[in-house]
């Protein structure tokens, strides 16, 4: 990182304080915020309603963080676009743009790498590199809107990384992307997915935001969950579900449970019934994800028949369940796989 301060990570209130500290009028904050988050300029010189002296002062003290687009893979099947961006420090992250009939959705990464260690996940193979800053999070959306020329209407924090392990930056990002002087996105169009850091789920609940919480459950008993997710050694399923109930009580938002189906591990009808018993009294929706095998591990995707049977059993128990539609099948490695390949190859990647 440069020594200069990352101005795009300052929320509106912080910018106002900064302006006052610089002996400037508070309303300059609104102007600067709009230049950065509405107009999305790349230099202080473009902020034409500021005096030249102020622009110079700003560029002496601040930098404007942008992500460098390294590559984009476009699905011939459904137009899904997988982006690789280079962040400050040289590391590469992935973001995905998906077109649905209800609008355009972007899946963003919250960390470069991850330290949660879920066994089936490619993002965690090399551990955590660094937390993404608020500007890194915002930029994934800004760059994609610029590249596609389309508006993004839904955001899911379901890419690489654990959002609750980068809590402060993620919360700040949520405030900024919904700020009326910026993109002004509705909280209801945002989903945050977590492997289940219980105290952080409760902290988020207390903020009473209208975002959707997606909880990666993946098992209906603690022993199986421990086999798949190290975090299960820290928090039991009971504790995680209590936190989900608390989230619903505080926000009124229906919980999404994610359940990746792995053949021979968690995909029998008996397990579907156990899952149904667990979540029956929670206002929820279950999203089934046939596991996307990664070459570093020998997990096998459940057969279609098993997936359908699992879903039917949930529905028999009056639990709303969907099977995640695979988007961009032709460009899809499992989450984080593409990034890993590119990082290994170093600079060989195409520049576009
Ligand atoms: N750290 C967050 C976001 C991770 S990715 C979380 O754990 O929720 C979003 C979802 O994809 C999670 O449910 C995650 O467990 C799941 N996932 C990761 N790799 C997968 C794979 N190879 N196959 C199927 N699901 C996977």
pLDDT per residue, tens digit, the chain (352 aa), is: 458 999 999 999 999 999 999 999 999 999 999 999 999 999 999 999 999 999 999 999 999 999 999 999 999 988 999 999 999 999 999 999 999 988 999 999 999 999 999 999 999 999 999 999 999 999 999 999 999 999 999 999 999 999 999 999 999 999 999 999 999 999 999 999 999 999 999 999 999 999 999 999 999 999 999 999 999 999 999 999 999 999 999 999 999 999 999 999 999 999 999 999 999 999 999 999 999 888 888 899 999 999 999 999 999 999 999 998 777 778 865 566 777 777 776 544 333 3
Q: With a 6 A CB cut-off, is 121 part of the ligand 1 pocket?
A: yes
> Contact 203/167 with Cβ under 8 angstroms?
yes
- The predicted model scores a pTM of 0.95
Q: Is 217 in the pocket of ligand 1 (CB under 6 A)?
A: no
Q: Which atom of ligand 1 is found nearest the CA of 216?
A: 13
Ligand 1, atom 9: nearest CA belongs to which residue?
158
DSSP code for 281: T
- Whether ligand 1 lies within 6 angstroms of the CB of 342 is answered as no
- Alpha carbon of 345 to ligand 1 centroid (Å): 24
Task: Tell me the C-alpha distance between 113 and 61, whole Å.
Answer: 30
| Choice from 114, 115, 120 to test ligand 1 binding pocket (greatest atom count within 8 A of CB) | 120
**Known active-site residue 296:** no
The Å distance, Cα 250 to ligand 1 centre, comes to 25
Report pLDDT for 2: 56
DSSP 114-132: -SS--TT-GGGTT-EEEEP
Quote the tokens at residue 150: 């389309």
Phi/psi at 136 (nearest 5 deg)? -65, -40
What letter would DSSP give residue 133? P
Catalytic residue among 16, 18, 24, 94: 94
120 lines ligand 1 (CB under 6 A): yes
Measured CA to CA, the distance from residue 81 to residue 96 in angstroms comes to 6
94 is catalytic: yes
């Amino acid at each position: 990182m440069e020594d200069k301060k990352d101005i795009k990570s300052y929320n509106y209130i912080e910018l106002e304080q900064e302006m006052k500290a610089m002996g400037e009028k508070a309303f300059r904050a609104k102007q600067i915020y709009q230049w950065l988050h509405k107009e999305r300029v790349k230099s202080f010189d473009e902020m034409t309603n500021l005096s030249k002296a102020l622009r110079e002062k700003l560029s002496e003290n601040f930098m404007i963080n942008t992500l460098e687009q390294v590559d984009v893979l476009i699905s011939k099947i459904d137009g899904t676009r997988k982006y690789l961006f280079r962040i400050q420090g040289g590391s590469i992250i992935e973001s995905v743009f998906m077109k649905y009939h209800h609008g355009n959705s972007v899946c963003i990464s919250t960390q470069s790498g991850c330290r949660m260690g879920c066994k089936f996940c490619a993002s965690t193979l090399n551990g955590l590199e660094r937390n993404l800053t608020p500007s890194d999070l915002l930029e994934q959306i800004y760059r994609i809107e610029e590249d596609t020329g389309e508006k993004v209407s839904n955001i899911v924090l379901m890419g690489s990384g654990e959002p609750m392990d980068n809590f402060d930056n993620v919360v700040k990002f949520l405030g900024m992307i919904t700020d009326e002087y910026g993109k002004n996105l509705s909280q209801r169009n945002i989903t945050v997915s977590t492997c289940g850091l219980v105290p952080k789920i409760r902290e988020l609940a207390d903020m009473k935001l209208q975002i959707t919480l997606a909880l990666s459950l993946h098992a209906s008993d603690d022993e199986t969950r421990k086999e798949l997710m190290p975090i299960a050694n820290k928090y039991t399923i009971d504790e995680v579900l209590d936190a989900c109930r608390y989230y619903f009580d505080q926000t009124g938002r229906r919980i999404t449970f994610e359940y990746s189906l792995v053949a021979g591990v968690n995909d029998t009808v008996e397990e579907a019934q156990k899952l149904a018993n667990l979540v029956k009294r929670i206002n929820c929706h279950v999203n089934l994800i046939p596991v996307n095998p990664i070459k570093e591990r020998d997990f096998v995707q459940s057969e279609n028949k098993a997936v359908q049977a699992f879903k039917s059993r949930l529905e028999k128990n009056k639990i709303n369940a969907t099977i995640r539609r695979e988007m961009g099948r032709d460009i899809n490695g499992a989450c984080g796989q593409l990034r890993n390949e590119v990082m290994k190859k170093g600079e060989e990647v195409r520049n576009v």
